[in-house]
Amino acid sequence: MNEIPAPAALLPWAPERTGEAAPAPGPERRAPGALAQLGLALRLAWRQLRADRARLATAIAGVMFACVLVFMQLGFKGALFDSATNLLQALRADLFLWHPLTEASFRPERMPRSRAHQALADPDVAQSIPVYLTQVTLRNPETGTKRAVQVIGFDAAAGALRFPGIEQVAGALTRPDTFAFDLRSRPEFGPVARLFRERGPFPIELNGREMELVGLVEIGPSFGADGNVVMSEVNFRRVFERRPSNIDLVAIQLRPGAEPAAVQARLRALLPGDVAVLTHAELVQKERRYWEEGTPIGFIFLFGSVMGLVVGMVIVYQILFADIAGHLSEYATLKAMGYSDGYLARVVLGAALILAVVGFLPGFLLCLFLYDFVAGATFLPLVMTTERALGVFLLIFGMCFAAGLLAVRKLRDANPADMF
Amino acid sequence: MQAPVELREVSFAYGSGELRRLVLREVDLRVAPGEIVILTGPSGSGKTTLLTLIGALRAMQLGSARVLGQELLGASEAARVRLRRRIGFIFQNHNLLGFLTARQNVAMALELDGALSERERLARAGAMLEAVGLAGHAEKRPAQLSGGQRQRVAIARALAGAPGLILADEPTAALDKQTGQEVVRLLRDLAKGNGVPILLVTHDPRILDLADRIVAMEDGRIVHAALEQAR
């Protein structure tokens, strides 16, 4: 097997063979361009990763794990905050008044009804209607179990507070002891919407009192309540025996062409300090901030994301480190052949970034599936946005890069002088 | 013509202070173009250190060493890395990259040369493997080759970049007698054909007769330089 070619073999470009002069021995060579070098380093990294399938699979699994964890944590966080603000998000009006001490819509601070009338003093305010909020129980018409529901009481016919479906039920709601049900409420309330569509208005027990369901609206469940119920201001006051002077929210409709910011400023100057004048966006933002900052929810998800990144980084680092430690003599040989430390560092970092890409892609696809699956199971609005996909990719990229930087230190142990 | 290797009063010590240990004492050595020099001597005599200094793998401390026209005393790390690209190294172990084929391993020596395209690199690597008698093994990985074949791939890799100097350290240590002699003979023939000098460190008495000159070292000094008659 160790046969030697019969005539003493010559170098392919030996003068004896080609008849030309031999290349001058050992000329200084032009180094390849930076881009070509990067390409070659990446290719070497990929070939090394590819050689050990089991190790590559472990590394990809590690990156995928981090990817899925971060995506799910961010998804849950976003979904919970979105759903937390669902109620206020759905209620549309030009301006709102509410008590400055109110932190969240499920626990409103009451204010005098007269503030709603005072707002009418501004010439650009067309309507200013009081809104009552409370939480009571609704009995499931099928199983008979009771569950907390958010009740919104206001003059639906006025048109100052808008959300899908309200115009169709406004007329029916003026009758005594009637209410409309949010068809996007969680299914624990029973098939209320289906029953209504099948047989029309029917009685349901709300807060221990038999009331008639006369229509459906669309709002969506939120953190504070699993479902929503809408009724007229009059019915609200009668059913819950609320003193009319204590209201929770004021919805203001402006005249067409009015400048909301200007009206907002004027109302602030006009009204006493026991009300805050907010636009819809500010109202939602205020509610969101309560859940983000006033509760440990944001921190919990941040912690989960960071843990995922740390575990992923450790796995990638371990893989890269083992690759270097297991091939120290080969790396040292490359250094002896004239490969610089920087080139070899690029090989290791290249391996890390390849892992980021090949781990992120399956992780992303898995998360698309998981988002759908979890959204279907929990009714949480989990949606994959481009920003989130990009953000997580950058996080994973950074995670792998950090792991690569840590692993590069091991290259110092590859000393070509020790090779002899 | 300038000698590829010219050392003058090269001294080298490991450690410092109390622990300082001198391993090279004022070594003078000159290798002529195309010359094959074998360095022998007991272990600890400093021959391997000398080889790493000439190969620009270690920083010089004292004396002067011109290798392929580059003065190594005070040379920067970058200058030494550049010089290494013009030297072919052959190690005791083949040190091939296990995840690359024989051809890709040889091509690694050419990837630092920006003048070559990928196709030219692979073609030249294939020609090199043919020259070392491994024409049919170019696409095999090192694990699929015998010890002698691996060492021949290493030789092909060392020669692929058309180096100006070849440094070898115990290239036969891991091989049996027959294979070892064949490998070194092959190395010599290939180098001779191109006029490339070889500096070879070995304990192996079976390959001494292949040298033009044998340099014996002891205790950091060159004690005996025998000129072999042309065979």
Q: What per-residue string of b and e applies to A314-336 under the rule 16 or more CB within 10 Å gives b? A: ebbbbbbbebbeebbbbbbbbbb
Question: Considering the domain boundaries, does residue A5 fall inside one?
Answer: no
Q: Are residues A45 and A142 in the same domain?
A: no
Question: Considering the domain boundaries, does residue B32 fall inside one?
Answer: no
Q: Are residues A402 and A320 in the same domain?
A: yes
Residue corresponding to tokens 């010439």: A123
Each residue's pLDDT expressed in tens, for chain B with a length of 231 residues: 578 888 888 889 888 888 888 888 888 998 988 888 999 888 888 888 899 999 998 888 888 888 998 888 888 888 999 899 889 988 887 788 888 999 999 999 888 877 788 888 898 899 889 888 888 888 999 999 988 889 889 988 988 888 889 999 888 877 788 888 888 888 888 788 878 899 999 888 888 888 888 898 888 888 876 554 433
* Residue A291 phi, psi dihedral angles, 5° rounding: -70, -35
Q: Are residues A61 and A130 in the same domain?
A: no
- How is residue B228 written in tokens? 């072999």
B99, B128, B153, B181, best to mutate vs chain A, most A CBs in 10 Å: B99
A320 to each of A317, A324, A345, A412, B98, how far by Cα in Å? 5, 6, 11, 14, 16
Question: Considering the domain boundaries, does residue A11 fall inside one?
Answer: no
How many structural domains are present in chain A?
2
* pLDDT at residue A32, rounded to an integer: 66
* pLDDT at residue B1, rounded to an integer: 57
Residue corresponding to tokens 């050992």: A26
Non-local (6+) Cβ contacts of B76 within 8 A are: none
> Which structural domain range is residue A342 located in?
34-81+297-419
Residue corresponding to tokens 């560092």: A345
Residue corresponding to tokens 């479906």: A165
Helices A328-336, A341-378: crossing angle, 10 deg rounding: 140
Q: Are residues A230 and A340 in the same domain?
A: no
Tell me which chain A residues have a C-beta less than 8 angstroms from the C-beta of B95.
329-330, 332-333, 419
Which is nearest to B159 in space by CA: B181, B134, B129?
Answer: B129
Question: Considering the domain boundaries, does residue B101 fall inside one?
Answer: yes
A412 touches chain B (CB under 8 A): no
Listed residues A278, A306, A327: the one ending a domain: A278
A255 touches chain B (CB under 8 A): no
Q: Are residues A112 and A214 in the same domain?
A: yes
- To the nearest whole Å, the CA of B17 is away from the closest chain A CA by 22
Q: Are residues A324 and A410 in the same domain?
A: yes
How many structural domains are present in chain B?
1
B66/B53 Cα distance (integer angstroms): 11
Question: Considering the domain boundaries, does residue B106 fall inside one?
Answer: yes
Non-local (6+) Cβ contacts of A186 within 8 A are: A221, A226, A227, A379
> Which structural domain range is residue B123 located in?
95-162
Q: Are residues A60 and A135 in the same domain?
A: no
End-to-end CA gap in chain B: 24
Report the amino acid identity of residue A61: A
Which is nearest to A324 in space by CA: A395, A403, A398, A396?
Answer: A403
Question: Considering the domain boundaries, does residue B112 fall inside one?
Answer: yes
* pLDDT at residue A204, rounded to an integer: 92
A359 to each of A63, A362, A366, B65, how far by Cα in Å? 5, 6, 11, 50
The residue count for chain A: 420
Question: Considering the domain boundaries, does residue A189 fall inside one?
Answer: yes
> What part of A 48-87 touches B (C-beta under 8 Å)?
48, 50-52
Question: Considering the domain boundaries, does residue B34 fall inside one?
Answer: no
* pLDDT at residue A7, rounded to an integer: 40
Question: Considering the domain boundaries, does residue B149 fall inside one?
Answer: yes
B46/B223 Cα distance (integer angstroms): 12
Q: Are residues A115 and A231 in the same domain?
A: yes
DSSP letters spanning A26-70: S---PPPPHHHHHHHHHHHHHHHHHH-HHHHHHHHHHHHHHHHHH
- How is residue B54 written in tokens? 């000439």
Q: Are residues A381 and A271 in the same domain?
A: no
A292 touches chain B (CB under 8 A): no
* CA-angle at A344, arms to A343 and A348, nearest 5°: 120
Q: Are residues A99 and A223 in the same domain?
A: yes
